[in-house]
Amino acid sequence: MRSVKDAAFGDDVRRWALRHACEDCVFFVDERAACANGYPNAMHRAAAFEPGSQVDGTFCKEFELR
């Protein structure tokens, strides 16, 4: 599912401390900045959800909160 990268989404992320990106996922391997399951992750990284990003932020079906 793609997200709308607008001010309201950013406000909700900060207000509710929402965790949704690779960096918050149990399957994210910090040392390699990669998914342990081998999936491409550019569209799931926190930066992809920032306004002005060249990549569409997309929620991952494999996401499991750390």
Give the tens place of pLDDT for each residue, 1-49: 666 677 888 899 899 999 999 999 999 999 999 999 999 999 999 999 8
Contacts (Cβ under 8 Å, ≥6 apart) of 18: 12
Name the helix (H) or strand (E) containing 35. strand 34-35
Q: Mean pLDDT, to the nearest integer, of 53-57?
A: 86
Q: Mean pLDDT, to the nearest integer, of 47-65?
A: 90
The pLDDT, as a whole number, for residue 31 is 97
Model-level pTM greater than 0.85? no
Domain ranges within the chain, ordered by starting residue: 1-66
